[in-house]
Structure 1
Amino acid sequence: MTSAGQRWLAAFGLALMTAACAPVGTSDGGGDASPIIRRPAAENEFTPVEIEETIDKLVAEINKKPSEPMQMAVLLKAATGFFAPIVKGATRAMGELDATGNVLGSPEPPGDQERDMELQNREIEQVLMDGAEAIGITPFGEANAAAIDAAVAKGVHVVTLDSDLATSKRSIYVGTLSQSAGAKAGETLLAALPSTTGTVVIHGNADPTWVDGVNRTQGAQDVLEAAGYKTVVRQATWSDEGEAEDVEWMKTQLETADPPAVGLIGLFDIAFRCAIAAEAAGKPGLPVVTFDFHPRTVDYMREGRIKATLIQRQYYQGYLVPYILQGIKNIGLDATRGALAPRMVDDSRFDLGLDVVPAHKVDAYNDFLAILDARQ
């Protein structure tokens, strides 16, 4: 089966999931305008209270003048791994909204960047032909801008999530802010580093076609270098086959760094490779800080080999986007921005923030994800 076929197969399955999620207290999907009733928020120490309150405010504004459910599409880079909680959140929100449409993503991790961007552009064209009134999307890069702009030109609002594309005409971005997220990771590692300076190995991104990856990497570098540490950056290799290359490069740096290596930081969901590299270099005690909640990251945290990980609240990324799209349709873009104001850093970016999970809290955070039914 072709890659495009695999992605549309995933869309079909997820569309069935969306249709099955009948919202509590609404109609059976017959088109009646009914008030939105949300699933109650999880009660947990990790529940983002301000975000929950902001969503409730948006829903209250929408419910002042309920409109018929809309057709929307949420186009993701993938539907598994890191993106699985996004799928869960988006599917749940579309069910509560009685929305029709697809949550679309490949069952395989992203691969060739240019090919994936081309496929995603075709997906945008397809969902528009199928009648989508609004689109949420995790863009691959600049080559998606023209397709997004074409959708906007047809009156279809577009909201980006996880990765932004500020050069496009998207209405709002929902997710972490890359520069500040990288800086937060750097600050988290600093707390575990010795007071003397040394070299920090960063498993990051230097590819200029992925601006968010570059910005996150730069944010971590800025914090660490300002504190007097030298940094060296490994360009993350996303394929499974690339794991050995990543580990070998970082191992060599740990063995030969001048000044000596004192820690590692990984900025994406494959950041557990930092812990593997430290062990391969015979330095398993070096402090490691990572991103996301990959099962292998969780295992290394339980072993004490990763000090902390930063979570990008993927479930809430997915959950927010359909509500924002519905808000734009019901009350307009400006009023939607106003309802989201507590977390808007400017007129187009909604900052979800991060959960910083220390190793001793790993099981508590896993319990939180279980409450949401959003484990990665």
Structure 2
Amino acid sequence: MTRIGRRWLAAFGFALMTPACAPDATSDGNGKASHVIRRPAVENEFTPVELEATIDDLVAEINKEPSGPMQTAVLLKAVTGFFAPMAKGAIRAMGELDVTGNVLGSLEPTGDQQRDMEVQNLQIEQVLLDGAEAIGITPFGDANAAAIDEAVAKGVHVVTLDNDLATSKRSIHVGTLGRSAGATAGETLLAMLPPAPGTVVIHGNTDPTWLDGTDRTQGAREVLEAAGYKTVVRQATWADGSEAEDVEGMKEQLEAADPPAVGLLGLFDIAFRCAMAAEAAGEPDLPIVAFDFHPRTVDYMREGRIKATHIQRQYYQGYLVPYLLYGIKNLGLDATRGIIAPRMVDDSRFNLGLDVVPAHKIDAYNDFLDIIDARQ
């Protein structure tokens, strides 16, 4: 790696190196991969059977003809917390495929989206200089589109995960699609609510610059409002010192609700704030449904305060991306799309789905995460 690359990595965060030759793949002796061997799927109630089958179908096609080596890079917003399972999944897949490359991400995101987008653009530039033939990326925003398009113009396919960037020339997006995810969460809460009318407070997003967040929020609102409930949205924020303000804002919404509040729905990893707001408003027994598996959310689930949460299968997001990039390089984009068509909602978006985890299944879900080594 160049000195410039080393300096930028030091400034940005952490690089996880993948092996040049992994024990799970075989080789023809000349450095060319000839057969991909996946780690067997675990047998567990939370195993995404259909998703595993789709990956197996892709591997079967790849294995019909000897495939060439590939250098790739997976660029994550972070390699800790929510993103740690993505990093683990990507590293495992790159090892199984016997590709070379890096998984890159910050140890501590700055919270300054403009700066983070600029650094990510530098990442793209650097991995191209280092010889990357394919890139997976969790983009920060629209300012990453030009850098992605420049990579594509050089013949490098790009797959986005977590956040989409449909304004770019990325080939495929892999993730929990916003509107359907929000609808699933709304349906989970709906089963716990008393008959309408009533008000549901949603800890969501109304900022149009974050399309995935607004889509998720709108999907939840549509389900709940179609069932006769009124919804009010509290804008979620991750800024330093925002927790108290966030909780107070939801508390005021609960107290002012007309008709009275009957439940809360948190749509992001800070959904545990819903339980704090309900307690502050003197309504600790209101049903609450959350998103993600933040330790504080889990604590509230164990106390019976949060009834269920929704997991975005971060491990599988990271795991699938190298396989898609490898398929695109060796089989072609159209052929790869055809193989994964059962999980595609259109010609470019792969819906990973959600794990719905009720409070009484916390330990069972943790067992599943342990098996695939994907704890946050």
Q: Aligned residue for 1:154?
A: 154
C-alpha distance in 1, partners of 2:250/2:8? 34
C-alpha distance in 2, partners of 1:66/1:26? 11
Please state if 1:341 is matched with 2:361.
no
Please state if 1:273 is matched with 2:273.
yes
C-alpha distance in 1, partners of 2:123/2:324? 21
Amino acid paired to 1:10: F
1:201 CA displacement: 1.1
1:27 CA displacement: 4.0
Q: Aligned residue for 1:68?
A: 68
The CA deviation string for residues 170-225 of structure 1, in whole angstroms up to 9 with x for no partner, is: 10111111111111111111111110322211111112111111111111111112
1:34 CA displacement: 2.3
C-alpha distance in 1, partners of 2:31/2:234? 52
C-alpha distance in 1, partners of 2:205/2:30? 47
Please state if 1:167 is matched with 2:167.
yes
Amino acid paired to 1:145: A
Instruction: Give the secondary-structure state (helix, strand or coil) at the position aligned to 2:72.
Output: strand
Q: Aligned residue for 2:115?
A: 115
Q: Aligned residue for 1:295?
A: 295
- Is the contact between residue 35 and residue 63 of structure 1 (CA under 8 Å) also seen in structure 2? yes
* Aligned residues between the structures: 370
1:259 CA displacement: 1.8
Alignment of 1:1-376 (within 5 A): 5=9, 8-11=12-15, 14-15=16-17, 18-19=18-19, 22-27=22-27, 31-109=31-109, 111-376=111-376
- Is the contact between residue 20 and residue 98 of structure 2 (CA under 8 Å) also seen in structure 1? no
- Is the contact between residue 198 and residue 262 of structure 2 (CA under 8 Å) also seen in structure 1? yes
C-alpha distance in 1, partners of 2:78/2:42? 26
- Is the contact between residue 87 and residue 315 of structure 1 (CA under 8 Å) also seen in structure 2? yes
- Is the contact between residue 176 and residue 352 of structure 1 (CA under 8 Å) also seen in structure 2? yes
Change (3 A) 1:21 1:308: farther
TM-score by length of 2: 0.94
Q: Which residues of structure 2 form unaligned runs of 5+?
A: 1-6
TM-score by length of 1: 0.94
More displaced, 149-158 or 257-266? 257-266
- Is the contact between residue 34 and residue 65 of structure 2 (CA under 8 Å) also seen in structure 1? no
Identity among equivalent positions (%) equals 80
Change (3 A) 1:21 1:212: farther
1:32 CA displacement: 2.5
1:68 CA displacement: 2.7
1:5 CA displacement: 4.6
Q: Aligned residue for 2:3?
A: none
C-alpha distance in 1, partners of 2:69/2:367? 33
1:6 CA displacement: 5.0
Change (3 A) 1:287 1:159: same
1:372 CA displacement: 0.4
The CA deviation string for residues 85-121 of structure 1, in whole angstroms up to 9 with x for no partner, is: 1111001001111111111111114612222112111
Change (3 A) 1:243 1:167: same
Change (3 A) 1:6 1:218: farther
Q: Which residues of structure 1 form unaligned runs of 5+?
A: none
- Is the contact between residue 7 and residue 106 of structure 1 (CA under 8 Å) also seen in structure 2? no
Change (3 A) 1:65 1:227: same
